[in-house]
Amino acid sequence: MNKKVSLKDIAKAVGVSTALVSYVLNNKEKEARVGKEIAEVIRKKAAELNYQPNQIAKSLKSGKSFTIGLIVADISNPFFANIARTIEDEAKKHNYTVIFGSSDENAEKSLDLINVLVKRQVDGFIIAPTEHSEPQINYLTESNIPFVLIDRYFPKVETNYVATDNFSAAYEATTHLINNGYKHIGMIAYKSGLIHMQERVRGYTTALKDAKAGASLLKEVDYNNVSLDVEKKIAELIHARQKIDALFFATNTLSIHGLKYLNKKQWKVPGDVAVVCFDEGDAFDFFYCPLTYVEQPLIRVGKEAVGLLIEQINDHVTEKKQLALASRLVVRASSVRTK
Q: How confident is the model at residue 63 (pLDDT cuts 50, 70, 90)?
A: low
Q: Which of 82, 145, 72 is nearest to 103 (CA)?
A: 72
Looking at residue 1, its pLDDT comes to: 42
30 has a pLDDT exceeding 50: yes
**pLDDT one-digit tens code per residue, 284-315:** 888 999 999 999 999 999 999 999 999 999 88
Which residues, listed in sequence order, are joined to residue 97 by a DSSP beta bridge?
67
The pLDDT tens digits of the residues spanning 90-146 come to 999 998 999 999 999 999 999 999 999 999 899 999 999 999 999 999 999 999 999
Other residues' Cβ atoms within 10 Å of the Cβ of residue 74: 15
Alpha-carbon distance values, 320 to 139, 142, 149, 158 (Å): 16, 14, 11, 7
Average pLDDT in the 205-215 region?
94
User: If you average pLDDT over every residue of the chain, what do you get?
Assistant: 90
* Mean pLDDT value across residues 11-31: 82
pLDDT winner (highest mean) among 23-27, 74-78, 93-97, 292-296: 292-296
Average pLDDT value for residue range 156-160: 94
Per-residue pLDDT, averaged over 235-245, amounts to 87
User: Beta 292-295 vs 328-330: how paired, if at all?
Assistant: antiparallel
Q: Give the largest CA-CA distance in the chain.
A: 82
**In this predicted model, what pLDDT tens digit does every residue of 171-187 receive, in sequence order?**
999 999 999 999 999 99
The structure's pTM equals 0.81
Torsion of CA 328, 333, 336, 339, to 10 degrees: 170
Using DSSP, state whether 70 is helix, strand or coil: strand
Tell me: pLDDT of 274 over 80. Answer: yes
Per-residue pLDDT tens digits for 81-91: 999 999 999 99
* 57: pLDDT strictly greater than 80: no
pLDDT at 8: 86
d(CA 47, CA 121): 28
Segment among 39-43, 255-259, 260-264 with least mean pLDDT: 39-43
Query: Taking 80 as the threshold, does the pLDDT of residue 26 lie above it?
Result: no
Q: What is the spatial distance between Cα 151 and Cα 165, in angstroms, rounded to a whole number? A: 9
Going by pLDDT thresholds of 50, 70 and 90, the confidence category of residue 35 is confident
Please check the confidence at residue 18 and state whether its pLDDT lies above 80. yes
- Distance CA(316)–CA(335), nearest Å, equals 48
Q: Which residue ranges form the domains of the chain, and what is each CATH number?
A: 7-53 (1.10.260), 61-164+298-325 (3.40.50.2300), 166-296+329-335 (3.40.50.2300)
DSSP 3-state assignment of 224?
Answer: helix
Confidence band, pLDDT 50/70/90 cuts, at residue 60:
very low
pLDDT at 58: 55
* Residues constituting the chain: 339
Q: What is the 3-state secondary structure (H, E, C) of 242-293?
A: CCCCEEEECCHHHHHHHHHHHHHCCCCCCCCCEEEEECCCHHHHHCCCCCEE
Q: Hey, what amino acid is at 23?
A: Y
What's the pLDDT at 55?
54
Q: DSSP per residue over 11-63, as a string?
A: HHHHTS-HHHHHHHHTT-TTTTT--HHHHHHHHHHHHHTT----HHHHHHHHT
